[in-house]
Structure 1
């Protein structure tokens, strides 16, 4: 029996877990962030970020395929020993946990702003995490099925944005590269952050049934995310004026308000309510990664107690901190900088270290 046989995921589940991690709350503000850095040439910045993330994704897979049954936590102990390996695992667990906390805080603020204005923060957080815990507690194979189901249920939502194109002005995108390449390169950091989520492969890889398709899967996941982001960005750039788009913190929300149907008055409210399912696929894999890492760190067989403690700690933090939009913005900026180091520097370091490690092992034998 395989080491991770009970929790194995299919190729399609592998794709949709990664893609779900990438497309979360950031899509609402991404057009504005790109416009601030690169103007209406921000879509070019997005293309550059896409290719950079593809390279980083493939490097991560190449690192893991050397030891296909090891998660990142197993690999660290194999390469650096038990004590150092567990010490190096702590920042990774913290990264997954803090990413979960940031997305949950943003989700709570969205729900309070649009639906439950007078409901206490901690009640909203409890409503979010209760069904999420039931999914994560059942194991990765259930999480994979959930991510795949949510993708099929909600992919049609992005095609509805095409209704706004009747009022679009594509001339807003011209001329291309109007201010040179420097602003475009300056915005690469924002586009790179928007693709964060593929690092969950560090935990998913040993559970994948068809590991020889891992590179193909991560390319497909990144490509789906890229086309969603590119479509949303181009539509927002064409709808809003080049200067006007920066006046909105979340241009996609303002765009949704303009879409009307004869049989539906507040389409934006329906869209956001359904989009909460998409957001859940962003934080649930990170939650699983943090609980799985804690389970590995303490050498236990059941990750559910660690997941319970982690989720309860989020509720307690909400009671005492009462997260605001400004605070969550600061946390997002912090975790984005950490994430860029985590997905670019660490895999390259591990890849080079493994090559040296294997060479020394062969020379010793």
Structure 2
């Protein structure tokens, strides 16, 4: 009997796939694009992501837990699907690569300004490769271990409660912002990652708990984002948040102990575990998509080729500004996939059901 991923591990995988580098800039994005009480925008973004997850669960129910690839290939010729598969795999491969590259550049800026960032990027890519060759079950166990190693950090927010001031929120709502449509898409990208649960269908039990676990992971992420942004909006003034490049790092810099200097550098190191699982999940989705086109190719060889391509492409954007532009543009594509793929699958499944009823 094939091993199945438990609902708890599904929830952890969902959360870990979602929590990426956007965490460090989220308060600034909310303040800059939406102005006063911009943290409120998290609520509609959460509801929208929950609706998107509902579409995914609908696919799971209509398709009776079948693989995304099986559903598509029952109605569409493989030759027609291959360009689509390449588009999906390429988008996820590059998006995961960029998330890792941004983490590396910030890490270099904080701790090793004279070191070539591509050395650190190579180390992260090798870690991701060794996780990927173990398969999704080992990835889920590693994600759970990393979850317990990082989940405690949310308790650090208690440190800032004495300096928290409600009057910094002001009674005005969403005033002083700009480009709110662009800002909404950028903020929504903070929730991306749940769409990768599509590819967990063959590895989970066919019951409601498996799908509810995706909602649970998304909810836990929302609570983390909400707690973090509320603390930032109550700790800094609106003007300060807009000027800070990485408000969360500046927040962590206020935590001081007599026996540790520059604690934010140490704490930033813990975020590697979150970033690593995010990268691994996007690359795993890319791997199984490409594997569908070349099923006879050895999985380790395929992974080596994909990681090599990702590492090579990470040389192109050299600065943080360039990486941010790439992430923004690829984020649009990932967001479009997150909404369009489930709707496409629902249409295909309804067509299959109608065709089956006609033949029946």
Q: TM-score range by the shorter chain?
A: over 0.9
Conservation of the 8 A alpha-carbon contact between 1:73 and 1:86: no
Distance 2:108 2:163 in 1: 31
Return the offset for 1:346: 2.8
In 2, Cα distance between equivalents of 1:198 and 1:224: 12
**Cα deviations by residue, 1:211-268 (Å, 9 ceiling, x for unpaired):** 4323311110110000011111111111111122100121101111111123322210
Aligned partner of 1:264 in structure 2 is 260
**CA offsets, 1:265-292, max 9 Å, x none?**
2210110111111111111111111111
Q: Which moved more, 1:173-182 or 1:283-292?
A: 173-182
1:152-182: CA deviations, max 9, x gaps? Answer: 1111112112212222222111215264999
User: 266-275 or 187-196, which moves further after superposition?
Assistant: 187-196
1:49-198 matches, cutoff 5 A: 49-177=45-173, 179=175, 187-198=183-194
Is 2:308 the partner of 1:312?
A: yes
Q: Which residue of 1 aligns with 2:322?
A: 327
Q: Deviations along 1:78-100, whole A, 9 cap, x unmatched?
A: 23122222332221111211111
- CA spacing shift, 1:180–1:241, aligned 2, 3 Å: closer
- Corresponding residue for residue 285 of structure 1: 281
Measure, in 1, the Cα distance between the counterparts of 2:176 and 2:321. Answer: 32
- TM-score normalized by the length of structure 2: 0.93
SS at match of 1:264: coil
Q: Is the 8 A contact 1:68 1:205 kept in 2?
A: no
Aligned mates of 1:11, 1:94 — CA distance in 2: 29
Is 2:38–2:174's contact at 8 Å kept on the other side of the alignment? no
Q: Contact 1:68–1:206 at 8 Å: present in 2 too? A: no
Give the aligned partner of residue 222 of structure 1.
218
Matches within 5 A, 1:335-350: 335-350=330-345
SS for the counterpart of 1:155 is helix
Q: CA RMSD in A?
A: 2.1
In 2, Cα distance between equivalents of 1:211 and 1:104: 34
Relative to 1, partners in 2 of residues 1:100 and 1:212: Cα closer, same or farther, differing over 3 Å? same
Contact 2:95 2:331 in 1 (8 A): no
**2: CA distance, partners of 1:179 / 1:131:** 44
The yes-or-no answer on 1:303 pairing with 2:299 is: yes
Once the two structures are superposed, residues 27-75 of structure 1 have per-residue CA deviations (whole angstroms, 9 ceiling, x without a partner) of 0000111111211322211011000100001101211333345332232
Structure 2: any 5+ residue segments left out of the alignment? Answer: none
The question of whether the paired residues in 2 share the 8 Å contact of 1:64 and 1:205 is answered with yes
Alignment-derived partner of residue 36 in structure 1: 32
Q: 1:210 to 1:76 in 2, by over 3 A?
A: closer
Between the two proteins, the alignment pairs up a number of residues equal to 360
- Which deviations, in whole Å up to 9, do the C-alpha atoms of 1:297-355 show, x marking residues without a partner? 11226422111111122333344x25211111111111221122111233223213321
Partners of 1:35 and 1:27 in 2: CA distance: 14
Note the C-alpha offset of 1:150: 0.8
* SS of alignment partner, residue 119 of structure 1: coil
- After superposition, the Cα gap between the structure-2 partners of 1:104 and 1:185, relative to the gap in structure 1 and judged at 3 Å, is closer
